[in-house]
Amino acid sequence: MNAVFDDTAKLGKWMAVEVALAKAHARLGNIPKDAPAKIEAAARKVKPGRVAEIEAEIHHDLMAMVKALTEQAGDAGKYVHLGATSYDIEDTATALIFLEGITLLEKRFATLASTLKKLALEHKGTVCIGRTHGQHAVPTTYGMKFALYYQELKRDMERLAEAKKRIAVGKMSGAVGTMATFGKDGPKIQKLVMGELGLEEDPVTNQVVQRDRHAEVLCVLAFTAALMEKVAKEIRNLQRTEIGEISEPFTQKQVGSSTMPQKRNPHKSERVCSLARLVRANAIVAMENIPLEHERDLTNSANERAIFGESFICVDYMAMELDKILAGLVFYPDNIKRNLELTQGLIMSERIMIHLVESGKLGRQDAHEAVRQLAQEAFARKRHLRELVVERKLLTKKEADELFDYTTYTGSAARIVEAAVKD
């Protein structure tokens, strides 16, 4: 991903657009038939260092490329960049770069989805306590957690596919989008250039391709980064000393702290969470770039040199790191069981209430109030709820033994998981 967004790759894409423009002119008879081949050969000779030298003199990066390409193209050099404005080249090249980056992310996300699917199926029967508002709620399964993440990632992959369609456009329309420099050939030239590059024509532009297209891609990356943060944050919380149900992999020689030898910090998950903030911030900047003034101003240009590559590279790295974390995730069954039993049966209050209603012993509201009062008493007196419901004759001992078995109170969790990861 670094290679896709580095300056050498950008330079290569710029020159590819210049070559496509020359080919379009040649097909329409505007320049000699052999000029495109000479310009294409010249593009292979242009050195990034030479472009940098020219840019240091003229303070215009695109024009520095044009001059360097012209130097190498001999008599065909006079046809380089004919009729184009800088952002005809730059925005069209940016589309090519984005498409290459998205293709890499699609592969990375597919790998991550496969790992989540595997975990969901492996742990569809691993019962654990569900938590709402940070408090113990009712039992769920680890398979449910991973199936949830899998489904959200699939939605993000669908969003990325949609955004990919809308970013796959280029322009060859001149300084304000009118194609005036190309005369009557303008529409034909744009069509030929985009056909050569495998892009769609942007139906209407001003000096630039409109930034809603780029912002959409960065917002999708921010969505996916937020999902990865969600997964990493759950791992971090479940790795807390007091909970200790799972942990990210920790190698034999790994050091957790420079002063506390016992530490097993979830630093890889923390790293994922940290980078998610950066990707979200970049999406905000991308949206700020949408309302450019008149036919365009330059307020988008400088920040895009940072936010485009940075967002793609961060998300790619996050997906790679999270996949490694999940693939090596460690489970602690004893702690999972301990936490299920931590509240001495209070997590089964809902089940008891439902049973009292279904058995005809109490109405719904009366059952809720009766169990609520017993739950409060059990908490205050540090007693198991099962003992109290039997003492107060709400349940028989046999009923209590069955109803307080948390492993049998996960509803359709297994079927939900299987359906959620079925492709």
CATH code at 155?
A: 1.20.200.10
> Is the C-alpha dihedral spanning 175, 176, 182, 183 positive or negative?
negative
Q: What is the pLDDT of residue 263?
A: 59
Instruction: Determine the straight-line distance between the first and last CA of the chain, rounded to whole angstroms.
Output: 28
72-115 pLDDT per residue, tens: 999 999 999 999 999 999 999 999 999 999 999 999 999 999 99
Are 46 and 72 within 8 A, CB to CB? Answer: yes
- Provide mean pLDDT across the span 271-292: 98
Residue 16: give its domain's CATH number. Answer: 1.10.275.10
The pLDDT tens digits of the residues spanning 306-317 come to 999 999 999 999
Flag whether 274 is in a domain. yes
Same domain, residue pair 234 and 296:
yes
In a shared domain, residues 163 and 217: yes
User: Could you identify the residue written with the tokens 């980056």?
Assistant: 101
pLDDT classification of 265: cutoffs 50, 70, 90? confident
Q: Are residues 273 and 394 in the same domain?
A: no
Element (H, E) at 315: helix 301-327
pLDDT at residue 261, as a whole number:
62
**Residue 423 in domain:** no
The answer as to whether 181 is a domain residue is no
Q: Indicate whether 89 belongs to any domain.
A: no
- Residue whose tokens read 């020219």: 54
Say whether both 132 and 64 belong to one domain.
no
- Residue 218 placed within a domain: yes
**Annotated active-site residue in 86, 114, 133, 311:** 133
Mean pLDDT in residue range 178-199: 97
Give the C-alpha distances (Å, rounded to integers) separating 246 from 113, 125, 160, 322, 409: 20, 16, 31, 15, 22
214 is catalytic: no
231 and 358 co-located in one domain:
no
DSSP letter at 291 equals: S
Specify whether 313 is located in the same domain as 357.
no
Q: Residue 250 has what pLDDT?
A: 74
Q: Are residues 144 and 268 in the same domain?
A: yes
Residues 145 and 69 in one domain: no
From 300, 333, 366, the end of a domain falls on 333
Helix or strand holding residue 127 (H, E): strand 127-132
Dump pLDDT digits (tens) for 42-83.
999 999 999 999 999 999 999 999 999 999 999 999 999 999
How many separate domains does the chain show? 3
pLDDT above 90: residue 257: no
| Residue that terminates a domain, selected from 275, 302, 333 | 333
Q: Is 125 helix (H, G, I), strand (E, B) or coil?
A: coil
DSSP 6-64: SHHHHHHHHHHHHHHHHHHHHHTTSS-TTHHHHHHHHHTT--HHHHHHHHHHH--HHHH
- Residues 224, 299, single domain; the answer is yes
Co-location of 145 and 269 in the same domain: yes
Same domain, 59 and 145: no
Among residues 333, 356, 380, which one ends one of the domains? 333
Would the pLDDT of 252 be above 80? no
DSSP structure class, residue 177: S
User: Quick one: DSSP state of residue 405?
Assistant: -
Residue 179 lies in a domain: no
Can you give the pLDDT at residue 255? 60
pLDDT band at residue 423, thresholds of 50, 70 and 90? confident
81 part of the active site: no
pLDDT greater than 70 at residue 256: no
Round the CA-based radius of gyration of the chain to a whole number and report it: 30
Instruction: Classify residue 121: in a domain, yes or no.
Output: yes
How far is the C-alpha of 55 from the C-alpha of 220, rounded, in Å? 34
Is 40 a domain residue?
yes
Short-list 252, 254, 244, 249, CA closest to 269: 249
Give mean pLDDT, residues 190-200: 98
User: Does pLDDT of 135 surpass 70?
Assistant: yes
> Cα angle vertex 154, ends 151, 160, to 5°?
150
Q: How many residues does the chain have?
A: 423
What are the tokens at 119? 């975990």
Is the pLDDT reported for residue 258 higher than 60?
Answer: no
Helix axes 413-420, 86-122, angle to 10 degrees: 150
Among 214, 247, 257, 412, the active-site one is 257
**Residues spanned by the domain of 389:** 346-403
What's CA 146's distance to the chain center, in Å?
16
Q: Residues 138, 280: one domain?
A: yes
Residue 415 DSSP label: H
Asked if pLDDT for residue 253 goes beyond 70, the answer is: no
